[in-house]
Structure 1
Amino acid sequence: MSAVRVGLVGAGPWAKIFHAPMITGGPETELTATWARRPEAAQEIADEFGGTVASSFEDLLDSVDALVFAVPPFIQADLAAQAAAAGKPMLLEKPLGVDLAQAEKLVQAIDEAGVPTQVMFTNRYSPKIRDFLDKARAQTPIGAVGYYINQAALPGGTFATPWRLEKGNLLDLGPHVLDTLDAAVGPIVEVRGEGDLKRWYILTATHEGGVISQAQLSLTSPVVEDVAGVKVYTEQGELSCEFVGKDGDPEAPNVIRREFAEVVTSGKSHEVDVHRALYIQRLLEQAAPKN
């Protein structure tokens, strides 16, 4: 089977750290072209990882089989709708959009186009976390806690990007924690949040069956290393997982690449697709501060 020709949308820090190495890390996909709002950033990707620099987003669409997105959510939502209309399978970032209305509009465009999708809930591709989820689902939960605490958005931080600084920790870190808690303990029927989105935010979720979970989120805490993961307490004991990161599961990018290639070649969306992402974004909207 020939490699899937992938177009990378975006050339920021995360594209260089994760997306480009993931695409080029195995035979299933090749990085054919990169497009970014700053051509010089796209050229840096091409110089290090190969492929060409697309002169426009439309040119990128014309030259590839599928797209991988690494741009802020408000940009992703508009461009992904164009890609859907062009019939391109997509590996999207979460959140899908900067707000629920934007996410719903994008999913409608994707459904109307009928293109397959996969979403970068990074932890869901870690074999270690998949094993954790299988064990958690087989036990009887009592309660759970989640946490994602780092200093990524402090001044000078790698991820002190404008949209994160404006929107805070809920949209960036919340998807990881809520998705994992929901997958481990059971569907969340209600979630509320309190605290400061720019400093420290706490989520309290009620799952089907009445089990309660809580999570702490911060992008601006001066910790030495990220503190990120989930613990589930069950009638049978305690289960825990740490999220993929600098010291996380190195196999996750390989799983993402292989499974995205299968999405593209089969024409069938991944289990973790835009509908899963929209479900999580609705929970984020519910958990947002009520002004």
Structure 2
Amino acid sequence: MDDIQVGLIGYGPAGRFFHGPLIHATPGLRLAAVVTRDPGRAAEAGQRYGAAALPDAEQVFGRCDLVVVASPNRTHVPLATEALALGLPVIVDKPLAATAEEARRLVALARERGRMLTVFQNRRWDGDFRTLRALLEEGALGEVTRFESRFERWRPEPKGGWRESGGAREIGGLLYDLGSHLVDQALQLFGPVRTVYAESAARRPGVGSDDDTFVALGHESGVRSHLWMSAVAARPGPRFRVLGSAGAYVKDGLDVQEDRLRAGRTPDEPGFGEEPEERWGEIGAAEGRRPLPTLPGSYLDFYRGVETALRTGGQPPVDPAGAVAVLRVIEAARLSAEQGTVSHLS
């Protein structure tokens, strides 16, 4: 069968370090075109993937079978809407939209047009998340009462760019960025949410969006999720701390795949997602703790799932309805932080 021709809109960090390498490494997909106006990045895309560099998104729509939207957040909805209206399947980087209502309209349009819409929630394929999900399926922790999850970094000097300096119009800040992953993982593991409480601030001078946020979720299942996202954590806490009636799982450090992609390694090479033993987490109680091997991470499985869905007409690897649920929680968290109250979801 002919390769599916993929057009990638946006060749910043998301396009260069995630989507480009993953598309290129997926059998049945070909990165045919990249939208960028940066001459250096255009040359890189051509040399590395043989992709044509185009100056605007409209030129992609007429020459590709699949559109990937990895451009700034404020462009996600208009670009995805245009592609779906033209009858093209679409992958959108997270967050899918600024609001749950906008996301619902996109999902409805995709259904109306009979085209695939999915969201790049790659952190579902982190090795530590896969390990935790396996523990929960086995019942190894007993009845879970609290889920603590963090993406914390130490970046006292802002890097600049729309994610930090842009306000609400840019859909910037950590709640929409890292929070999209943290909330998605919590919902995947423990189900729908009833209550949301949040504290959020812009700590660094010159930053226009939140760079230090905490969110507490009360799940219908009874589990409490505590989520931290910060750029000003001089000493980051554990990536995961999960407390259950039979023990706990504690894991430090981030999944290895992002660093390896940024270093130029290819995601289909042997051992790409495997974590060294010294980075494994621990399972057990205060006494009797033991190291637990981390399952290999595999971001490539997302694009393999996309290729299969397009060939067979099956379900995409991430149901976009899940992105709507994530945005409902994010909107409730923003309201909670602004008003200093607990938000309730029906």
Q: Does 1:155 align with 2:158?
A: yes
Q: Does 1:236 align with 2:246?
A: yes
Amino acid corresponding to residue 102 of structure 2 in structure 1: Q
How large is the RMSD of aligned CA atoms in angstroms? 2.6
Conservation of the 8 A alpha-carbon contact between 1:153 and 1:164: no
Amino acid corresponding to residue 120 of structure 2 in structure 1: M
> Which structure 1 residue ranges, 5 or more long, are not aligned?
none
Question: Closer, same or farther in 2 for the Cα pair 1:106/1:69, shift >3 Å?
Answer: same
Q: Match for residue 196 of structure 2? A: 191
Q: Which residues of 2 match residues 228-267 of structure 1 at below 5 A?
A: 229-240=239-250, 243-244=254-255, 245-246=258-259, 249=273, 251-267=297-313
Q: Does 1:210 align with 2:222?
A: yes
Q: Match for residue 17 of structure 2? A: 17
Distance, in Å, in 2 between the alignment partners of 1:284 and 1:63 is 35
Q: Which residues of 2 match residues 132-171 of structure 1 at below 5 A?
A: 132-139=132-139, 140-151=143-154, 154-156=157-159, 160-166=160-166, 167-171=172-176
Distance, in Å, in 1 between the alignment partners of 2:111 and 2:155 is 34
Runs of 4+ in 1 over 6 A off after TM superposition: none
* Number of residues of Structure 1 aligned to a counterpart in Structure 2: 285
Question: Closer, same or farther in 2 for the Cα pair 1:243/1:92, shift >3 Å?
Answer: farther
Conservation of the 8 A alpha-carbon contact between 2:33 and 2:54: yes
Q: TM-score, normalised by structure 2?
A: 0.74
* Matched-pair identity in %: 24
- Farther off after superposition, 213-222 or 12-21: 213-222
Rg larger in structure: 2
Question: Closer, same or farther in 2 for the Cα pair 1:114/1:127, shift >3 Å?
Answer: farther
Conservation of the 8 A alpha-carbon contact between 1:136 and 1:239: no
Amino acid corresponding to residue 273 of structure 2 in structure 1: D
2:330 pairs, out of 265, 272, 284, with 284
Conservation of the 8 A alpha-carbon contact between 1:154 and 1:219: no
Conservation of the 8 A alpha-carbon contact between 2:218 and 2:225: yes
Q: Quote how far apart the aligned CAs of 1:9 are.
A: 0.8
Q: TM-score, normalised by structure 1?
A: 0.86
Conservation of the 8 A alpha-carbon contact between 1:144 and 1:230: yes
Distance, in Å, in 2 between the alignment partners of 1:190 and 1:33 is 43
- 3-state DSSP class of the match of 2:338? coil
Distance, in Å, in 2 between the alignment partners of 1:263 and 1:219 is 36
Q: Quote how far apart the aligned CAs of 1:66 are.
A: 0.6
Amino acid corresponding to residue 243 of structure 2 in structure 1: Y
Distance, in Å, in 1 between the alignment partners of 2:28 and 2:231 is 34
Distance, in Å, in 1 between the alignment partners of 2:244 and 2:102 is 37
Distance, in Å, in 2 between the alignment partners of 1:143 and 1:180 is 14
Distance, in Å, in 2 between the alignment partners of 1:101 and 1:42 is 35
Conservation of the 8 A alpha-carbon contact between 1:77 and 1:97: yes
- 3-state DSSP class of the match of 2:176? helix
